[in-house]
A and B are shown apart, each in its own frame.
Chain A
Amino acid sequence: MKHKIYIFVVEDEPEVLDAIVRDLEEFEDIFPIEMADSAEEARDLLSALIDEGHEIGLILCDHVLPGQNGVELLVEMQDKPSTAETRKVLITGQAGLDETVRAVNEADLKHYIAKPWKKQELVETTRKLLTDYVLEQTENPMEFMSVLDSERIADFIRKGRSITDN
Chain B
Amino acid sequence: MTKVKTTGLFLGIIGFCIPLLMNFQGLSLAGHIAMSIFLLAAVFWMFETIPIYSTSILVIFSQVLLLSTEGIIDFSGVAGYDPQSYTQFIGTLANPIIILFLGGFVLADAAVKYDFDKNLTRILLSPFGNRTSTIMLGLMAVTAALSAFMSNTATTAMMITVIIPIIAKMDKGDPARIGIALSVPFAANIGGIATPIGTPPNAVVIAALNQQGLAVAFGSWMLYALPLAIVMLLVAWQVLLRLHPPATEFVALDLDTKLQKSSHAILLYVTFGITVLLWVTEGFHGIKSSIVALLPVVVLTLSSAFSKQDIRKLPWEVLWLIAGGIALGISMKDTGLASWLVGGIAWGDLSSMMVLVVFGAVTLIMSNFLSNTVTASLLIPLALTLVTSGALDGTFGMLLVGLVIALSASFAMILPISTPPNAIAESTGVLKTKHMLLSGSIIGVIGLILVLLLSVFYWPNII
Q: Tell which of A16-24, A53-61, A76-84, A145-153 binds the partner.
A: A145-153
Residues in B neighbouring A156, C-beta threshold 8 A = 157
Of chain A, the residue at the smallest CB distance from B200 is A165
For the complex formed, measure the closest distance between the CB of A112 and the CB atoms of chain B, giving whole angstroms.
28
> Is A114 an interface residue, CB under 8 A from the partner?
no
Beta-carbon contact of B428 and A165 below 8 Å:
no
Partner of B161 from A142, A143, A151 at Cβ < 8 Å = A151
* In contact, B371 and A157 (Cβ under 8 angstroms): no
B235: Cβ under 8 A from any A Cβ? no
Bound together, the chains give a CA A157 to CA B156 distance in angstroms of 9
B108-121 interface bits toward A, Cβ cutoff 8 Å, 1 = contact, 0 = none? 01001000010000
Partner of A166, one of B117, B157, B374, B427: B374
In Å, the complex CA distance between A154 and B158 comes to 7
Residue of A151, A159, A160, A166 near B200 (CB, 8 A) is: A166
Closest to B105 in A: A160
Q: How many residues of B contact A (CB 8 A)?
A: 33
**Contact with A165, one of B117, B158, B420, B427 (Cβ below 8 angstroms):** B420
Using A142-B427, A146-B427 as known contacts, say yes or no to A158 and B200 having CB atoms under 8 A apart.
no
Report the Cα distance A159→B165, complex, angstroms.
19
At the interface, yes or no: B429 with Cβ under 8 Å from chain A?
yes
| CB pair A158 B423 closer than 8 Å | no
> Any chain B CB within 8 A of the CB of A163?
yes
Among A142, A151, A156, A164, the one with the most B-chain Cβ atoms within 10 Å of its Cβ is A164
* Total contacts A-B at CB 8 Å: 82
| Alpha-carbon separation in the docked complex, A157 to B157 (Å) | 6
User: A121 in the interface, Cβ–Cβ < 8 Å?
Assistant: no
Question: What is the interface of chain B mostly: helix, strand, loop, or mixed?
Answer: helix
Check A160/B313 contact, CB under 8 A, given A151-B164, A166-B372: yes
CA distance A159 to B161 in the complex (A): 12
In the bound complex, do residue B318 and residue A164 qualify as a contact, i.e. CB atoms below 8 Å apart? yes
Interface size bucket, A side?
10 to 19
Query: What B residues does A150 contact at CB under 8 A?
Result: 160, 164, 427-429
Contact of B36 with A by CB under 8 A? no
Closest to B153 in A: A165
Chain A residues, CB < 8 A from B427: 142-143, 145-146, 150
User: Which residues on A sit within 8 Å (CB–CB) of B374?
Assistant: 166
Q: Which of B284-334 contact A (CB under 8 A)?
A: 313, 315, 317-318, 321
> Does B199 reach chain A (CB closer than 8 Å)?
yes
B151 on the A face (CB < 8 A): yes
Q: B280 at the A/B interface (Cβ < 8 Å)?
A: no
Hey, what's the 0/1 contact readout for B260-289 against A, CB within 8 Å counting as 1?
000000000000000000000000000000
Nearest residue (CB) in A for B118 is A158
A145 to B181, alpha carbons, bound, how many Å?
13
A147 vs B192: C-alpha distance in the bound complex, in angstroms? 29
Assuming the contacts A142-B424, A161-B313, A164-B151, asked whether A154 and B200 have C-beta atoms less than 8 A apart, the reply is: no
- Asked if B253 CB lies within 8 Å of chain A CBs, one says no
Identify which of B165, B317, B424, B427 gathers the most chain A CB atoms within 10 Å of its CB. Answer: B427
Q: CB-CB contacts of B173-202 with A at 8 A, as 1s and 0s?
A: 000000000000000000010000001100
Please determine whether A166 and B160 come into contact, CB atoms closer than 8 angstroms.
Answer: no
For the A-B complex with A157-B424, A163-B153 known, give 20 more contacts whose Cβ atoms are closer than 8 Å. A145-B427, A145-B428, A147-B429, A150-B427, A151-B165, A154-B160, A155-B158, A155-B161, A158-B154, A163-B424, A164-B153, A164-B315, A164-B317, A165-B151, A165-B318, A165-B373, A166-B372, A166-B373, A166-B419, A166-B420
7 examples of A-B residue contacts, CB within 8 angstroms: A150-B428, A151-B160, A154-B424, A158-B161, A164-B317, A165-B373, A166-B371
